[in-house]
Amino acid sequence: MKLRNIAIIAHVDHGKTTLVDELLKQSGAFRANQNVAERAMDSNDLERERGITILAKATSVEWGDTRINIVDTPGHADFGGEVERILSMVDGVVLLVDAAEGPMPQTKFVTAKALALGLNPIVVLNKVDKPDAEPDRALDECFDLFANLGATDDQLDFPSMYASGRSGWADLELDGPRKNLDAMFDLIVKHVPAPAQQARVDEPFRMLATTLGHDPFIGRLLTGRVESGRVKAGETIKGLSRDGTVIENFRVSKVLAFRGLERTAIDVAEAGDIVSIAGMAKTTVADSIVAPDVTDALEAQPIDPPTITVTFGINDSPLAGRDGKKVQSRVIRERLMKEAETNVAIRVTDAPSGDAFEVAGRGELQMGVLIENMRREGFELSISRPQVLFRDVNGQKLEPIEEVTIDVDDEYSGSVIEKITGVRRGVLTEMKPSGVGKTRIIAHVPSRGLIGYQGEFMTDTRGTGVLNRVFHDWAPYKGTIPGRRAGVLISMENGQSVAFALWNLEERGRMFIGAQADIYRGMIIGQHSRENDLEVNPLKGKKLTNVRASGTDEAVRLTTPITLSLEEAIAYIDNDELVEVTPKAIRLRKRHLDPHVRKRAAKIAS
């Protein structure tokens, strides 16, 4: 059977996973009566809740006499480590672009990676049935993007299609019949080359491990493309590290291939196919799996370095251990090391204090997803504010700069530009209209300036703005950037909050908690209306006299408290504060709960 290996790449929310659903349906991968969830490829709970793809996943469809292996990739740059590795095992890419939005920051990020690997893209203008779609403009912008990224003549001569993934059609012409995806299948078979590896079937077996998975029955599974030769279950092969050192010799217990949404055991895998192999104990991502007589490792894609670091520590608050079962530093360390093994974009090191761990990664979203997964698994953690990683080059301090693309209503563009160029040290590079009454702002802003900005941005734009960011470059240190302006309200007592006390405190600021909430000394219960921190007593009930009873006054009515999401909480805290994360709660607290210790630490820091 003929083979084609493709990846579907795009900016977040441009319709990759929905399109793959339709490709699976129309190729006959599902039975007509099969009950399949929407966005079938987004298989884990967090992906379904957030509507984003976090982990790259492979599937396979048959079209005529051709098997097409399709990899659905994440759109967020935070998960770019996944995208880079995936692109090294395909022979072509389908670049999906929203016909209304045009190429966006992550479009640029993933396209640059694909072009650098010499892949010839097929451009699909998706969502052309949206009322504000401008497919011709989007197509021109794609060409300009390719040219700016240094595409070759062959890459610039890309085929293009018009599509609606949700409606399940794609055509070469905008006014085509709009019936099905047959034209897309035919174009993939015609335009994407067959794997060059297929010609190397008679050479010794070689395969580069691209992703690591786990099956409850089979154990560890390494997925990749077979570069040469054949492999079958029962054979003894070995794992090589990048420098050619033998990691282990092992027997292949299973060879699995993708057939629709299922992994199916096959007898023999041949060069060019994308398969999963089970049986290894130590070999991991970016290592080579080879025949016993092969001594040289395959070249692995370099991974962009992390740009931020977050400290994961044990939860040492007075409420520790109430919700979660996994609270020891040893258990937290094991879980983080397991994550670092499967996700090459993450780096874990022990913090100097000994009971905490520095986790370096690509961005706040990546960290937020890891923390959310851990709390669902029963972990309790204390999380620090994200810190940007600096580089020292020839005695000069460099910091990461991100390209920020903002789509905002015209009336809010002034305040947004003032915030990112003034307070946050950004440089405006482009500003242009993007539809009726909207402006697109593109700026280069230090990563430090964007920590905690999302919430402020949503407030400034009344929830209507869209902000996208992607790593741009390293640049000289831009100077100090002011942090949070407002102070916080800190509890001075342990117990449960009282409605009457909170009602009296409302003139001091906005609350993060409601009545009957468990609190402790040093916990942050609200945002102060002024710049300084203020210690308050949220337990102070109403004094009763013999003149009137407690029920005669009107019941206290509290303002609805601010509920911070995990990412908002991590971005909100200052350097002397932590987020306490448990399976059931997210609380803010001071690093030092005792006020005297806190004052001493503040003096030393200043």
The domain segmentation of the chain, as residue ranges, is 2-194, 198-290, 391-476, 488-605
Which neighbouring-strand residues pair with 488? Answer: 527
pLDDT of residue 544: 59
DSSP character string of 504-567: HHGGGEEES--TT-EE-TTEEEEEESSSS-EEE-TT--PPP-SSS-TTSSPPP-PPPPP---HH
pLDDT interval class at 303 (50, 70, 90): low
Tokens encoding 241: 């590290």
| CA pair distance 365, 363, nearest whole angstrom | 6
Neighbours of 482 (CB within 10 A): 8
Assigned architecture for domain 488-605 = Beta Barrel (2.40)
* CA 300 remoteness from chain centre: 22
Give me the mean pLDDT over the 379-404 stretch.
89
pLDDT of residue 423: 80
Give me the mean pLDDT over the 411-433 stretch.
87
Fold of 198-290: Elongation Factor Tu (Ef-tu); domain 3 (2.40.30)
| CA pair distance 77, 45, nearest whole angstrom | 20
Q: Do domains 198-290 and 391-476 have the same CATH topology?
A: no
41-to-13, 15, 83, 259 alpha-carbon distances in Å = 14, 12, 16, 13
2-194 sits in which CATH class? alpha beta
Ordered strands of the 160-164 beta sheet: 57-63, 66-72, 2-10, 92-98, 121-126, 160-164, 169-171
3-state secondary structure 268-320: EEECCCEEEEECCCCCCCCCEEECCCCCCCCCCCCCCCCCEEEEEECCCCCCC
For 541-551, how does the pLDDT look when each residue is reduced to its tens digit (9 = 90+)? 766 555 555 55
Tokens encoding 395: 């005695």
| CA pair distance 5, 229, nearest whole angstrom | 17
From the list 276, 280, 371, 368, the residue with the least C-alpha distance to 324 is 371
* The CATH number of domain 391-476, selected from 3.10.180.10, 3.40.50.300, 3.30.830.10, 3.30.70.240: 3.30.70.240
Question: Which is more confident, 80 or 589?
Answer: 589
Question: Which is more confident, 539 or 556?
Answer: 539
Query: Rounded to 5 degrees, what are φ and ψ at 350?
Result: -75, 135
In total, the chain counts a number of residues equal to 606
For 437-495, how does the pLDDT look when each residue is reduced to its tens digit (9 = 90+)? 888 888 999 988 888 777 778 778 887 888 877 778 889 988 888 776 788 999 998 98
pLDDT interval class at 520 (50, 70, 90): very high
